[in-house]
């Protein structure tokens, strides 16, 4: 088959292939003439350096660094028909190509060929990790679960608003705790009484020469200043016994037994004492005016000064001991037994007032009525003011005024509370005590004293994470509404 001539279209006919790749050799640019053999890099002032592997230098590649294995040989470049070219050397980027006519330039630090024998730098590990072979890596084992967090102790303070008599109704409340607390209170009081009675027995036998087997043995001792001192100290010992009983069962610090705000409010105590003292002095004045014959028996004796000192120093502690014991911890033990706030208040006031009257060992109905009424009025003060300060103030003022003539009187029959000793005149004292209570309650309302508090709620709110609403945990108002619905 004959080859057809190409049409005359103005283009030159196709040329036969030249060389084995079919393309003619390209002319070299001036200054970049190709050579058939590798060219030696010009001397720039540095000693000859080995060529990096894979770039066609005649010298053998440098040995690989220890620990990184052998660098595999690089394949020869494809025979593309071009003349063999020499790869650019590792001179400064500011150096002109060879043959360009520029004089040799100085190489800045950090440029040029790498140090002899270094080759390419090995791959570096990420920052913060040890170099390979630097030291053996420890085996940390399998991941362990986080350590368990110990449970937090249950809240011992009310987290919803509670009044004084129900202050033991906390998250840690259990129905058996008030009963055990009453037993601890009774046992502690008996132990304190027995321990403090030992010096009185020794005094009665060795000093007074009394027969301990006689029925009136202790009564005769109580008719002396030292017996009166022992009686006051036994009552004062009820303060630590009451505080210990409440702490042992409900883990509340003793300061919370004083008031629902956790402290003794001295300013409020002074105000309540001033009001009570005025009413009690008026009551004593009325009683003296009715029976003026008792003034004729007043006299100075050897017991006047000791008795006056005992009254002034120990009577406040004796009164406080009875308040902490009856209106304090016993009132709370009984009041916390009932879920209903009002039921607990009424029953706690009746029980604590009855115990207060029984402890006075009075056989006269008028005296028992007076002691019971005094206990009820004191419970009302504690409930309305949220603490024992007002009841302690009223008790101290009452006892101070009732005992103000004892240092000048005959102490015989001091603790005689047998039937017939009392009379309807005791109602005068009851009336003035009630008047003092009403005025104190009026002042408490004016002073805006709190009747209930929830000190445990603030601790729970402080533990709530920021992303959770604190109102979901502290809601004293809703708890109060639930309490009122149960009443």
Which range, of 232-241, 284-293, 323-332, averages the lowest pLDDT?
A: 284-293
Band of the pLDDT at 277, cuts 50, 70, 90? very high
Whether 372 has a pLDDT exceeding 90, the answer reads: yes
- 9 phi/psi in degrees, rounded to 5: -105, 10
Give the whole-number percent of the chain exceeding pLDDT 90: 49
Q: What average pLDDT does this structure show over 272-301?
A: 89
Q: List, in sequence order, every residue forming a beta bridge with 453; answer none if it has no partner.
A: 162
Residue 356 in contact with residue 374, Cβ under 8 Å?
yes
Q: What average pLDDT does this structure show over 395-409?
A: 93
Q: What's the CA gap between 421 and 3, in Å, rounded?
A: 160
Q: What average pLDDT does this structure show over 255-284?
A: 96
Which range, of 109-118, 154-163, 382-391, 416-425, averages the lowest pLDDT?
A: 109-118
Band of the pLDDT at 82, cuts 50, 70, 90? low
Q: What average pLDDT does this structure show over 420-440?
A: 93
pLDDT at 321: 96
Whether 473 has a pLDDT exceeding 50, the answer reads: no
Q: List, in sequence order, every residue forming a beta bridge with 396; answer none if it has no partner.
A: none
More confident of the two residues 91 and 107: 107
Whether 413 has a pLDDT exceeding 80, the answer reads: no
Q: What's the CA gap between 177 and 210, in Å, rounded?
A: 43
Band of the pLDDT at 433, cuts 50, 70, 90? very high
Q: What average pLDDT does this structure show over 461-467?
A: 46
pLDDT at 208: 86
Q: What average pLDDT does this structure show over 303-330?
A: 95
pLDDT at 436: 97
Q: What average pLDDT does this structure show over 374-385?
A: 97
Which of the residue ranges 43-57, 84-98, 288-302, 400-414 has the most confident prediction, judged by mean pLDDT? 400-414
Q: What average pLDDT does this structure show over 157-178?
A: 94
Question: Residues 226-245: pLDDT tens digits?
Answer: 999 999 999 999 999 999 99
- The mean predicted confidence, pLDDT, of the chain is 78
Q: What's the CA gap between 242 and 239, in Å, rounded?
A: 5
Q: What average pLDDT does this structure show over 205-227?
A: 87
Q: What average pLDDT does this structure show over 198-222?
A: 87
Whether 68 has a pLDDT exceeding 70, the answer reads: no
pLDDT at 61: 55
Q: List, in sequence order, every residue forming a beta bridge with 452; answer none if it has no partner.
A: 163
Residue 202 in contact with residue 280, Cβ under 8 Å?
no
More confident of the two residues 6 and 389: 389
Q: Among positive and negative, which fits the CA dihedral 251, 257, 259, 262?
A: negative
Whether 450 has a pLDDT exceeding 80, the answer reads: yes
pLDDT at 374: 97
Which range, of 101-115, 303-317, 353-367, 381-395, averages the lowest pLDDT?
A: 101-115
Which of the residue ranges 87-91, 137-141, 179-183, 477-481 has the most confident prediction, judged by mean pLDDT? 179-183
Whether 25 has a pLDDT exceeding 60, the answer reads: no
């Amino acid at each position: 088959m004959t080859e057809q001539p190409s049409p005359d279209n103005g283009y030159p006919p196709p040329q036969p292939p030249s060389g084995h790749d079919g393309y003619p050799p390209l002319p070299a640019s001036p200054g970049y003439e190709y050579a058939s053999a590798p060219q030696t890099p010009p001397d720039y002032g540095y000693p000859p350096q080995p060529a990096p592997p894979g770039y066609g230098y005649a010298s053998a590649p440098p040995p690989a660094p220890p620990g990184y294995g052998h660098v595999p040989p690089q394949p020869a470049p494809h025979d593309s028909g071009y003349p063999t070219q020499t790869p650019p050397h590792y001179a400064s980027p500011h150096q002109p190509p060879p043959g360009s006519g520029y004089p040799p330039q100085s190489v800045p630090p950090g440029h040029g060929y790498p140090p002899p024998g270094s080759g390419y730098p090995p791959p570096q590990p990420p920052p913060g990790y040890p170099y390979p072979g630097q030291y053996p890596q420890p085996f940390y084992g399998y991941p362990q679960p986080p350590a368990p967090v110990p449970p937090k102790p249950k809240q011992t303070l009310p987290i919803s608003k509670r009044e004084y008599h129900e202050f033991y109704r906390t998250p840690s409340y259990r129905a058996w705790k008030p009963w055990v607390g009453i037993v601890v209170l009774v046992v502690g009081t008996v132990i304190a009484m027995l321990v403090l009675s030992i010096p009185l027995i020794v005094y009665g036998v060795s000093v007074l020469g009394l027969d301990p087997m006689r029925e009136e043995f202790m009564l005769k001792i109580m008719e002396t200043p030292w017996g009166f001192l022992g009686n006051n100290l036994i009552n004062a010992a009820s303060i630590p016994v009451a505080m210990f009983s409440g702490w042992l069962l409900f883990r509340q610090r003793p300061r919370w037994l004083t008031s629902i705000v956790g402290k003794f409010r001295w300013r409020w105590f002074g105000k309540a004492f001033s009001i009570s003292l005025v009413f009690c002095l008026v009551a004593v004045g009325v009683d003296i005016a009715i029976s003026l014959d008792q003034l004729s028996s007043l006299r100075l004796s050897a017991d006047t000064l000791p008795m006056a000192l005992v009254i002034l120093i120990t009577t406040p502690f004796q009164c406080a001991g009875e308040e902490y014991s009856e209106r304090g911890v016993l009132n709370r033990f009984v009041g916390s037994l009932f879920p209903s706030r009002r039921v607990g208040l009424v029953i706690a006031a009746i029980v604590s007032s009855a115990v207060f009257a029984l402890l006075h060992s009075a056989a006269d109905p008028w005296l028992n009525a007076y002691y019971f009424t005094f206990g009820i009025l004191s419970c009302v003060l504690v409930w309305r003011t949220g603490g024992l300060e007002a009841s302690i103030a009223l008790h101290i003022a009452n006892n101070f005024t009732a005992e103000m003539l004892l240092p000048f009187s005959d102490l015989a029959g001091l603790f005689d509370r047998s039937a017939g000793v009392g009379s309807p005149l005791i109602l005068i004292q009851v009336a003035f005590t009630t008047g003092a209570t009403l005025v104190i309650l009026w002042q408490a309302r004016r002073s805006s004293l709190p009747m209930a508090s929830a000190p445990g709620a603030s601790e729970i709110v402080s533990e709530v994470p920021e992303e959770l609403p604190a109102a979901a945990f502290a809601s004293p108002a809703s708890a109060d509404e639930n309490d009122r619905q149960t009443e």
